[in-house]
Structures are given as structure tokens and as C-alpha cells.
Structure 1
Amino acid sequence: MILNRVRENPIPKTNDRFVSLYKKCWQHEPDERPPICQVIEELDSIDPIINNLPTNSNKSKITQDKDSDLNITTYIIIAQVPIHTFPIETVNYYVSGGNGIQIYVEEKGNPEKTTILFTSGYMASRQSWHPLCDKPRDVKAYSLELSGQDLQAVITKIKTDKPNKKIITVGWSMGTPTTMTFMKNNPDIKIDGFISVVGMVHLNFTEASLNTEEIVKYSIAANDPDYKFSTIAYGLNGLSNFRTFKPSSDQYRALKLGDSIIVPPEYRKYEAKPFDFRDFFSSLDIPTLNLIGEEDKLITLEHSLQFANLAKNGKKIVYKDVGHSPPWEDTKSVVRDIIEFVSNI
């Protein structure tokens, strides 16, 4: 990392050419920034930054801060948000989900391997942000039941094409009850494993962690009845405070705020109802995995442990210094643990 928290203040002894290149990449006007090919060429011509890191106390400080908004790398940081890419070859098709809405599906990766289906949480919805999917503007078009039907439509298509295909479902946050709604309502559709990422197994709206003064204030703003953009953005940005345990980088915050804002407001306003999947989850014979953030500000550790302990054939992993976004807060560990779970199915 060449800058000490403030872009204009390079860490002492940082290579001058790195500093110059970094500042060019952060020019206010996009047209003034160098093209990526030029950046790569210049990086290749500069000695690795690791050879120019400060020594002793300064270097120690960088190491201690590496889990905050600093990021140590052998080259310059162009962006802190990783850009994940998939193979070009994809299988694309439409399915009819709940209420007949059209869902555009992209299957990426090796079609011969186990399929992993991720279900998003409250502040993000593939159904909403994907440009080729229907985007209902009716509050009644969104519910756990309808989302469960969406998942059923996708899985039915996969099973029709490849009856012996192994499928693992992964629910993140509210994606967990969505996934369990599907599984409970479709016992005849075989699922080979289930992963809950900081999910809830029951909800009755009296949970103290979900009813703090701050959360209520930001939730009301995010669902502004007048649809005032600035008010909604204020609410969603405030709710971002509860996504992670440690303060998130500006880049991550901006990414997730944008992700939340483009979700139709009707999705956030749907009439959420109490649910309780404790008995259902405890009856599952399939392998299950609960990924838990020890410092989750939304789903208490007590709730998560009680949930995980209901499993017949389950395993739980608690991530230290992680909140409600394990896939972003400890990406390497989460990817490793999901791969290990799937490989044993």
C-alpha cells in the first residue's frame, strides 16, 4: 500500500513512480486516467513495491492495519473491491417463477460439477438487478413464498435437464428462510446439501438486535412512503453500518449502497411475516453447514448457535472478528469452507 489512509499523503520511502501512477489512476476526470494496458506496462517496468516498504515501526504499523482499510499488495491498489470473473461459456435460459414472472438464468462454470445456488439477502436481489429479469412494481409480488417458487423454477429446470445433478443451496441472511421455504414446500425435489450464511431460522419481529433505535430509524428512511431518493439513500447507507464488524472500505460501502439502491423499493416494502423453521431444519437429513459471524450486529451469536445446534447432520463454523458479511469480510475462509463442504457431498 503506498498511501497512508489519505490519498495525498504517501507513506515515506514509497517508490516515486508508484505514487505518480497511483495519482494518475485517481484523476477526477475519467478521461485523464491512463488505460489499463498502460498501467500494466508501467507496473511491469517498476520494481515490486514490496522492496520499497518502510522498515521497522512504519512497516509494523502497516502489518497491524492490514485488516482494516489498508491492503498490502506487491503492486499498486487500483481498487479494493475484487472483480470476480467467470468462464465465457455460459448456459442461458428463462424460467417462470412465482406469479409467472420471467427470471433470466445464467449457469456459469463447469456444467459437470455440483451446482451451487446462492440466494441473496434483504438488501440485494438478483431478480431485481438483473436487466433481463422481470421487475414487478407491486409490493404483493415479493414474499418468502414467491421467492421460494422462484428457486423451485430454477432447480426444476436444472433437474429436468440433468436428473442426477447434485445441487447445493446457499442462503445468505434472509436468503436462508427463502431457501428453507423452497425446501419445505417441495420435499419431492432432492437437494444434496444446504449452507446458511448468517441466516435466521425464526423471526417474530421482537428480536432486540433488529429493533435498536438506529436500525428502526434507518429502516423507516429506506422505505420512505414518498419514494424520496435522498431519504432512501440515507436509510440504506445507514443500514450499511450493520453489514460488517470492522468499518468497511469506501469502495465496498459504495458498491453495496449502489447494489441496494437499484433494488425496486417494492422489494424492501413487501409485507414480511413471522416465520419459524426450527422444526423443519432439525428434521433435515441432508448435510448442512452454518457459517456464523461472531460479531454479527443483526443476527445474534446466540441465535446462530441455537440454529446450528438443531442440525441432524450439520457442521458450524464461527468466524472471529466478522459481522453480517462473511463472504466479504473473510472471503478466503468462506470460499475455502464452502469448497470443502461441497467436495464432501
Structure 2
Amino acid sequence: MLRKLAAILLSVVAILAAGWLALRRPDIPYDTLETAYSLPTSNFQTIDGVKIHFTDAGPRDAPVIVLLHGFAASVHTWSQWQSRLDDTYRVIAIDLPGHGLSRVPDDEPVSRDYYVRTVGAIADQLQLDSFALAGSSMGGGIAWKYAAENPTRLDALVLVDAAGWPMSSEDRETSPLVFKLIRIPFVRTLMKDLDLSSLIEDGLSDSFTDQTFVTPEMVDRYSSLSRAPGHRGALLELSAQGPDSPASVRDRLAGIDLPTLILWGEDDKLIPVSHARQFDEAIAKSVLIVYEGTGHLPQEERAKESASDVIAFLDQHVSALSPPFIEEDADEVDSAANGATPQTATGGGARPR
């Protein structure tokens, strides 16, 4: 009987091992990925020892907006915004280390705090005296943390379905399968070298209300970029990091005294729209826009509308701060810098779109 049981167990282990070996995928060299996924506006610079990929478009003397993508994403998520903003703004989208075409640091693990420091280092390298900062999902969490720590360097803040508030147990139950799996340490270890295409596709499907956005090309891009050397390990390191406490988040947000635009998809399955209202309540000079019939990525799913809302916001709060406008009307500049409308200055509440 014991022999039979041992034989069965060995057979199960052999089957699982064979399945794991069949799903293993090697890293894809950076040269190959750069050939496939670099963009016409791509730039590479080594910053604090890490080669960083970013796109840089628009007039060099225009007001600047810096864009931060979400977990496992890349600068490609901002393509629609960039093409609409770069006539009048300098638009810089960054691949955070361990994402897109950016490398992974050798001497420290990636973390949210590391990303906040990275944003500052990139801004220093590009000699950005002041700029607007926008972030989607995880990038939104990095953006508001940077704003809380560097209040005098930013002109404005844009949060798109931003991370930061701890998820309730109910929210966790409804999150995509890939996020449930990577919360389990043992599973994270197994996933490090595997082909995650099917899980990536499930996660992307949960990110969009309109499933026509989830194309084979999008799935292949996410999957391929995750196989850059060191990226899978970096993503799993990030997923293992716990949230900040609600009190800590609330205290840090309360210290943000910047014009802040909060954009959210009403049907977001990854970060519920209730978090948008929490951000709106916590940040004094905020305005919230909720897009009906939209998921986690309104910058892609509602590109035209969300870009128009951002342009209107930047025109009000950032254009007047740029050098070409400063000498025209000092009183007007002061008014714009301090929040031009009662709605923005008081956190005007949600406007459905």
C-alpha cells in the first residue's frame, strides 16, 4: 500500500515538473526587445547606474508633464495621450526600472520608495525645474508619493485609477486571477521563469470594459516585455510588498497642496471607484472625473475624452506657470497658480462622463 501511494505521489510530482518545464520561457535580450518596441520618441539614459528608457515629445520650451505607467505596463499605455498633448506640452513618459525597456538595478530591489527616488533622479538628469506629474495605477501611487515628498517641484498632479489605498477583503476577492496568485509566496517562486501569457491576457481582459482593446499584439507586448532580463523577478518583488496603512496614506495625501485631477473608470475591477472618492476627499485641491462604461485604463479606453480633460486641466494650472506667460499678467499667473476655480480649489466632486 505504501509503495503504491509513493508511486502515485512520484507520478504527480513528475507530471507537475513536466508541466513546469514545458511552461518555462527564457529571457528575451534587450536588443531584441528594443528593436521591436522602441518608439520614434524613445530615449535611453543611464541614471544612477540603471539604463532607463523614456519617450520625450513636444516643444522643449513648453510646460512639462511626466507620465508614469502601472504595474507590468510600459510607456506604450500613454501613446494616445502623448499624440494629443505634444503640440503644446513637452510629454515625457518613463519606463520604470523592471518595466518596458528599462533595466533592473543591480544593487537594490525595486520598490515603491525606489521608484519615487527614480522619478526625482530622472527629473534632475533632464534638468526639469518644475513639471506636472501623472500616474496610472501603480504609477499613480508613485506620483502622489512623489508629490507628498516634493511639493515645491510640481506644478500639478494627475491620478488615473491610482493605487495607494489598501484593498478590502471584498475587493481582493474580485481582483484578477494573476493578482491572487502572485500574493502567494510559493506560487511567486514558481512563476518567476514561466510563460505568463494566459494570465497576462486574463489581467488585461479585466482591465478593459471594451474587450476589443485586448488585442493579440497587446498581450504579446506585455508578455514579451515581462521577459526582459530581470523583469519577472522585479515584478514579483513588487507584488510581494504590502500596502501602507490607511492612516499613513490619509496623512500624506492631506499634505498635498497641488491642483490635482483624479480620473477613474467607473467599471474598474482592479482598483474600485470608491478609492477615487477617497483620494478626492483626502486631497484639498482636487477635482474628480469618473468615466462611465470604462475600466482600469481610461487613458487607453477613453483616450480622446481623458486627454481632453487633462489638456483643459493643464491649460488652467500649468500653462500660466511656463516662462512665455509669466510676464503677460502677474495677477492672472497668481490666480492660476493658486487654483483658478472654486471647483478645483475645494475638491469639486465627481463629474460623470
Aligned residues: 248
Aligned equivalents of 2:53 and 2:176: distance in 1? 36
Does residue 315 of the first structure (1) align with residue 287 of the second (2)? yes
Please name the residue that 2:103 is paired with: 134
Deviation at 1:210, TM superposition (A): 2.7
Q: How has the CA–CA distance of structure 1 residues 290 and 91 changed in structure 2, closer, same or farther, with 3 Å as cutoff?
A: same
Does residue 244 of the first structure (1) align with residue 208 of the second (2)? yes
Give the 5 Å matches for 1:201-220: 201-203=164-166, 205-212=167-174, 215=177, 219=182
CA contact under 8 A between 2:213 and 2:301: conserved in structure 1?
A: no
Bigger Rg, which one: 1
Listed one character per residue, the Cα deviations across residues 283-320 of structure 1 (whole Å, up to 9, x for unaligned) are 22210000011111111122211211222111111101
> Structure 1 regions of 5+ residues with no counterpart?
1-82
Which has the larger helix fraction? Answer: 2
SS of the counterpart of 2:163? coil
Aligned equivalents of 1:303 and 1:310: distance in 2? 10
Does residue 178 of the first structure (1) align with residue 142 of the second (2)? yes
Please name the residue that 1:305 is paired with: 277
> Structure 2 regions of 5+ residues with no counterpart?
1-36, 75-94, 318-353
Aligned equivalents of 1:129 and 1:213: distance in 2? 22
- Answer 1 or 2: higher relative contact order, Cα 8 Å, separation at least 6: 2
Residue 135 of structure 1 aligns with an amino acid whose one-letter code is: V
Q: How has the CA–CA distance of structure 1 residues 257 and 151 changed in structure 2, closer, same or farther, with 3 Å as cutoff?
A: same
Aligned equivalents of 2:197 and 2:289: distance in 1? 34
Residue 282 of structure 2 aligns with an amino acid whose one-letter code is: L
Give the 5 Å matches for 1:245-284: 245-251=209-215, 254-263=217-226, 264-270=231-237, 271-275=240-244, 276-284=248-256
Q: How has the CA–CA distance of structure 1 residues 209 and 241 changed in structure 2, closer, same or farther, with 3 Å as cutoff?
A: farther
Give the 5 Å matches for 1:13-28: none
Give the 5 Å matches for 1:90-109: 93-96=45-48, 100-109=49-58
CA contact under 8 A between 2:276 and 2:288: conserved in structure 1?
A: no
2:114 to 143, 146, 161: 146
Deviation at 1:155, TM superposition (A): 1.6
Residue 318 of structure 1 aligns with an amino acid whose one-letter code is: V
Deviation at 1:93, TM superposition (A): 4.1
CA contact under 8 A between 2:175 and 2:269: conserved in structure 1?
A: no
CA contact under 8 A between 2:100 and 2:225: conserved in structure 1?
A: no
Q: How has the CA–CA distance of structure 1 residues 305 and 162 changed in structure 2, closer, same or farther, with 3 Å as cutoff?
A: closer
2:61 to 95, 108, 112: 112
Deviation at 1:152, TM superposition (A): 0.8
Please name the residue that 2:190 is paired with: 225
Aligned equivalents of 1:102 and 1:93: distance in 2? 6
Q: How has the CA–CA distance of structure 1 residues 91 and 173 changed in structure 2, closer, same or farther, with 3 Å as cutoff?
A: closer
Provide the TM-score with structure 1 as the length reference: 0.63
SS of the counterpart of 2:142? helix
Percent identity over the alignment is 20
Please name the residue that 1:199 is paired with: 162
Aligned equivalents of 2:69 and 2:159: distance in 1? 11
Q: How has the CA–CA distance of structure 1 residues 220 and 144 changed in structure 2, closer, same or farther, with 3 Å as cutoff?
A: closer
Please name the residue that 1:66 is paired with: none
Q: How has the CA–CA distance of structure 1 residues 289 and 249 changed in structure 2, closer, same or farther, with 3 Å as cutoff?
A: closer
Listed one character per residue, the Cα deviations across residues 204-255 of structure 1 (whole Å, up to 9, x for unaligned) are x54422333753555469945253533x22222221221112323452x531
Deviation at 1:267, TM superposition (A): 2.2
Deviation at 1:282, TM superposition (A): 2.4
Does residue 341 of the first structure (1) align with residue 293 of the second (2)? no
Provide the TM-score with structure 2 as the length reference: 0.62
Aligned equivalents of 2:218 and 2:277: distance in 1? 30
Aligned equivalents of 1:245 and 1:190: distance in 2? 36
Aligned equivalents of 1:85 and 1:226: distance in 2? 29
Give the 5 Å matches for 1:49-88: none
